[in-house]
Structure 1
Amino acid sequence: MESEVHSIRTLGILGAGRLGTVIARLAASAGYRVLVAASGDPALISPAMKAIGAKAANAATVVADADAVILALPLGKYRMLNAEALRGTLVIDAMNYWWGSDGIRDDLSDARTSTSELVQGHLTGARLVKALSHMGYQDLEDEARPAGSAGRKAIAIAGDDTADVAIVASLVNDLGFDPVFAGPLAAGIMLEPGAEAFGADVDATQLREMLDRFPTSQRGIVVARARGDLPL
């Protein structure tokens, strides 16, 4: 079933690291009310958030007050998210598995499933969409451009619900990037480390070509074999 389309007025961000802070600044500049939660006392990040037009809050307030919530945490912490509090919420997964911050985790690097599917499995009642995950935070900071700008860069989106994907696409556009639909949530594996699109700072045509090449790429073949789509 598709969700009814609603625009995002208040954007919540869980995670006040480099990625969360960059997204907060872009969203505030685009006119969104932005609430950001860190792992500690909101007062510790309040001056920095105020400086970029956002507001610091605790996680419970962010989840309760936001129309959509971006996950900008280390992926290894996803099971700490309050699944009940996020039930019914549009959740945008911007997380990736990175051994440097998550440790060596076989459960986060299994080619049979995308990491967003793992997150959805925990947040069973949330409406999960994968986005804002494959471009580095510094490129997000530097490359945002108004719609129609020459050479505007693109952000891929993966999700199962077309209405939710449309809402996230509108957000991506407002943040300064052309949205490119990658496919259902499972297609988010094409945006993870090891895939050509991970780290990509390219326009929509080039990003679409990268996604189209995934099945025949080295990573794509590994994924297909793990899923039983190709002989070992």
Structure 2
Amino acid sequence: MPTPTLGLIGSGMIGGTLARLAVTAGLDVVLANSRDPHTLAGLVTELGGRARADTPAAAAEAGDLVVAAIPLKAYGRLPADVLAGKTVIDTTNYYPERDGHIGALDGDELTSSELVQRHLPGAHVVKAFNNLGFHQLFTLARPVGTSDRTALPIAGDDANAKQQATELLDVLGYDTVDIGTLADSWRSGPNTALYGFPYLGRPPTGLDADELQHWAAQSPGVPVSARRVKELAEAAVRGPAGASYS
């Protein structure tokens, strides 16, 4: 049976972390960014023989599953024609100061993943990997059956695509909690209790904003159970769209 291939469009902090988890789990990866594939030579060398760099369209074509690990403002560059029929895992969050204001999101007419789905009408979008930092995403991964395994939320409109995403997360080291449709995906986004802090643990007291940011970037994180993820998702209250980006 051929080794599954994960296509990664976006190879920054989240995309690079997912690539590391994927090759460790025995998957092949095809990496792409918004620049020339040669700019990923260092990461490809670090990852080893299971990884190669190519264009976004080639990564989309090669991937059995494809992860869009890009800023939301770049969603229009995703190759809709190549991604038709594929499961696309969307990691985006809406940060207006970075992405520019988007009326449909500011007015809660759509979630960011619904916006991505509209751009990719032939694909099956699943929201995942958007609610914790890249460092915690790496350090909290655990094998199947581990007592302190962490759960992550997913959301999507297609049951088969959500099953594919669940299987990928399992291989990469995570349990999953289905929190609903793409319209429900705000429950794991910025300004909710499920975003960031449950996976960080309790910060030291007395930190200023810069110190807190530095601590959060370095914290190994704490496991979050599927039960806790479900509780936080169900109790979520929708606040202002978007969040400050730092």
TM-based fold match above 0.5: yes
Counterpart of 1:9?
A: 4
CA distance 1:198–1:109, change in 2 (3 Å): farther
The residue identity in structure 2 corresponding to 1:78 is Y
1:75 aligned residue: 72
CA distance in 1, matches of 2:45, 2:96: 32
Q: CA deviation at 1:40?
A: 0.8
Post-superposition offset of 1:191 = 1.3
Q: 1:130, 1:63 → 2: CA distance?
A: 17
Aligned residue for 2:232? Answer: 210
Match of 1:139 among 136, 140, 148: 136
1:18-46 CA distances to partner (integer Å, 9 max, x unpaired)? 11000110011111111110111111112
After superposition, the C-alpha distances for 1:100-136 in whole angstroms (9 at most, x for unaligned) are: 4323444443323211111111111111111111121
In 2, the alpha carbon distance for the partners of 1:184 and 1:8 equals: 30
Checking the alignment, whether the CA contact within 8 Å between 1:97 and 1:109 is kept in structure 2 is no
Which residue type is aligned with residue 230 of structure 2?
R
Provide the rounded CA distance (Å) in 1 between the counterparts of 2:86 and 2:105: 23
SS of the equivalent of 1:85 reads helix
Name the CA distance, whole Å, in 1 between partners of 2:155 and 2:91: 11
Question: Which of 110, 126, 147 is the matching residue for 1:129?
Answer: 126
Q: Report the AA paired with residue 5 of structure 2.
A: T
Q: Which runs of 5+ in 2 are unaligned?
A: 200-223, 242-246
> How high is the sequence identity, in percent, across the aligned residues?
37
CA contact (8 A) 1:156 1:182 kept: yes
Amino acid at match of 2:107: D
Shift of 1:154: 0.9
The answer (yes or no) to whether the contact 1:10–1:33 under 8 Å persists in 2 is yes
* Residue identity in the other structure for 2:181: P
Corresponding residue of 1:56: 53
Task: Tell me how far apart the structure 2 counterparts of residues 110 and 80 of structure 1 sit (CA, whole Å).
Answer: 24
Q: Which amino acid aligns with 2:56?
A: A
- Does residue 39 of structure 2 align to residue 44 of structure 1? yes
- Aligned residue pair count: 213
Of the structure 1 ranges 97-106 and 115-124, higher mean CA displacement relative to structure 2 is found in 97-106
Aligned match for 2:192, one of 186, 195, 198? 195
Q: TM-score, normalised by structure 2?
A: 0.81
RMSD of equivalent CA atoms: 1.9
User: Cα–Cα, structure 1 residues 171 and 129, in superposed 2: closer, same or farther, change >3 Å?
Assistant: same
Q: TM-score scaled to structure 1, two decimals?
A: 0.86
Alignment of 1:41-190 (within 5 A): 41-53=36-48, 54-190=51-187
Query: Partner residue of 2:26?
Result: 31
Q: Work out the CA distance in 1 between the residues paired with 2:121 and 2:32.
A: 22
SS of equivalent residue, structure 1 residue 150:
coil
CA distance in 1, matches of 2:105, 2:178: 24
